[in-house]
Amino acid sequence: MPDYQAPLRDLRFVMDEMLGYPAHYARLPGGEEASPDVVAAILEEGARFAREVLLPLNQSGDQEGCRLEGGEVKAPKGFKEAYAQYVEGGWPSLAADPEHGGQGLPHSLAMVLNEMICATNLAWGMYPGLSHGAADALRHHGTEEQKATYLSKLVEGTWTGTMCLTEPHCGTDLGLIKTRAVPTDDGAYAITGTKIFISAGEHDLAENIVHLVLAKLPDAPAGSKGISLFVVPKFMPDGNGNPGERNGVACGSLEHKMGIHGNATCVMNFDGAKGFLVGAPNKGLACMFTMMNAARIGVGIQGLGLAEASFQNALAYARDRLQMRALSGPQAPDKPADPIIVHPDVRRMLLTQKAFAEGGRMLVLYTAQMIDIVEHGQDAAERERAETLLGLLTPIVKAFLTEVGFEATNEGVQVFGGHGFIQEWGMEQLVRDARITRLYEGTTGIQALDLLGRKVLMSQGETLKVFTREIHKFCQAEEGNAELAEFVRPLAKLNQEWGELTMGIGMKAMADREEVGAASVDYLMYAGYVTLAYLFARAARQARAALAESTEDAAFYRAKLNTARFFYQRLLPRTRAHKQAIEAGAEPLMALSAEDFGRGFEL
């Protein structure tokens, strides 16, 4: 069975030394509660829960899967008990508003815990995962009555939430949805339709499930402008706020999936189910985006967690597995062969995983600071800047970290060789589980269009400039530091090139709008590599400073520097290929007619 140790030392480095989390928390209203001692205790207990409670259920949950019995879904053995421990420990309420029963701690702290959950049992983590987003959507857009009815239950974890968007005939193009909401005499709505791919849509972990459902009113405008949002509980709350009569919503079937078998991915049938309008009529998509953006960050963390899990287990195997001798001569002469970690290509695979895990962690925690400021910052200008950065970074976190997370899990299998292909080692499960992260909550292509088209070009590049100015200031401040020249000089060139590349796409798009779609995925990946380069440069600066002050923990800081060098020298050059592909433009993609795709075989 795979093992896992929460990377607490690396978390402390990023949070405390590199990003200054203690001072960051102290500036937030109520942030003083997140003292270093409290944070340390939360991280250590979260690490224990992930390793001792969730990890042992990961493989068994994958192999057992979920069962649909008489319209009720049974989660794998042990999942319900683990969820009860999760609720008892107060984990769902960690970052929620005290007004609704939460502990009021910063959102970033909950995101750190989420990495540990994703690394040890992604399928289990999806049951409570969307509840936070559902609570946020209701907190921002719900009526006072809806907040009183649902929020405390979602916050404490006795009820869970879902997000019901996709339908059999439409995925991302939500303007095509057919689910209908008909007003009833009691001020509610009768919701009728079918939703698919609903994570945790039906299960036995919690006493009630709160569905947030997109549907159209009878007089709704066509397309996405006619979408409304409704809250539809599995059980109607009674006069005391407890689950009462069963609502007209049921799981029609469970999807047969490539991975995340331990999570119930449901076809949900709404048959005149009673629902209540959230927000204004026909403004449901804007309300749902509150939940969707939180979910996209969450999926990026899934990619990070799986990369970390893959790296840790591949590293342990590479240290133990004996195979051939090192090219430079025996490294373990007392053994019949050397451990495979001596071989350059195995080191390439391990370092790729390590760099993506550590770089991804820095990106998530940097983004988490923006979330804290948006939610709790006192200075309006600072909040506005953080919101701009958060908008820019969200598609990068979601898409880039899931793309490289999937790459990392594939490299993990490769380190194991044939054993990685065998179920017992658990590495192939990481690959299967990671594959969905590139699809749900908006595919990589959708995130790329959001980044390039909506966030960058529609703002005339102003959104991007907020971030590139920050990178420019860092490079300016360190340009005289000879010890950081290996990082700062290439970063400064890429930062300038990023702006030029953006301008070039914008100019082409004025003549041909297909240029945006043609460039978008390569643009997002380019942006992801440059963003990680900036963060690795900051990490290198901190590691250099620590080594200059003390020899304590020197091995950790040297490893951090060498990982940064590997990223710069072996992974960052990928930006060259992405740049060249962007500059090739739309013509190579659009020149082939739809009919000509099939030339050479009969359709």
pLDDT cut 70: percent of the chain above it: 100
Give the closest residue to 29 by CA, choosing from 316, 355, 268, 378.
378
Distance CA 499, CA 293 (A): 25
How confident is the model over 507-558, as pLDDT tens digits? 999 999 999 999 999 999 999 999 999 999 999 999 999 999 988 899 999 9
Q: What is the pLDDT of residue 21?
A: 97
Q: What is the pLDDT of residue 113?
A: 97
Token digits of residue 348 = 């390439």
Q: What is the pLDDT of residue 603?
A: 56
Helix (H) or strand (E) holding 524: helix 514-549
Helix (H) or strand (E) holding 191: strand 189-199
Phi and psi for 332 in degrees, rounded to 5? -130, 75
How confident is the model over 136-166, as pLDDT tens digits? 999 999 999 999 999 999 999 999 999 999 9
The CA-based angle 465-13-376, given to 5 degrees, is 55
Q: What is the pLDDT of residue 172?
A: 77
Rounded to the nearest angstrom, the gap between the alpha carbon of residue 116 and the centroid of all alpha carbons in its chain is: 13
Give me the residue spans of the domains in the chain. Answer: 291-443, 450-589
Q: What is the pLDDT of residue 224?
A: 86
Mean pLDDT, consecutive 10-residue segments, the chain of 603 residues? 95 98 93 94 98 98 96 96 98 94 95 98 96 93 96 97 93 85 97 97 98 96 92 96 96 98 98 98 89 92 98 98 95 96 98 98 98 94 97 98 98 98 97 98 96 97 98 97 98 98 97 97 98 98 95 95 98 98 97 91 69
pTM of the model: 0.97
Distance CA 292, CA 290 (A): 6
CB 60 within 8 A of CB 260: no
Beta carbons within 8 Å of 216's beta carbon, 6+ residues apart: 177, 178, 179, 180, 181, 226, 227, 228
Q: What is the pLDDT of residue 602?
A: 67
The CA-based angle 571-446-470, given to 5 degrees, is 55
Q: What is the pLDDT of residue 288?
A: 84
- Cα 240 to Cα 98, 155, 236, 243, 380, distances in angstroms: 21, 17, 11, 9, 40
**381-418: b (≥16 Cβ within 10 Å) or e:** eebebbebbbbbbbbbbbbbbbbbbbbbbbbbbebbee
Which of 115, 403, 441, 515 is flagged as catalytic?
441
Give the closest residue to 466 by CA, choosing from 432, 495, 503.
495
Q: Mark whether 33 is an active-site residue.
A: no
CATH number listed for the domain at residues 291-443: 1.20.140.10
- DSSP character string of 5-71: ---HHHHHIIIIIIS-HHHHHHTSTTGGGS-HHHHHHHHHHHHHHIIIIIHHHHHHHHHH--EEETT
Q: What is the pLDDT of residue 429?
A: 98
Phi and psi for 338 in degrees, rounded to 5? -90, 150
CB 255 within 8 A of CB 183: no
Q: Is 226 left (phi over 0), alpha (psi -120 to 50) or beta?
A: alpha
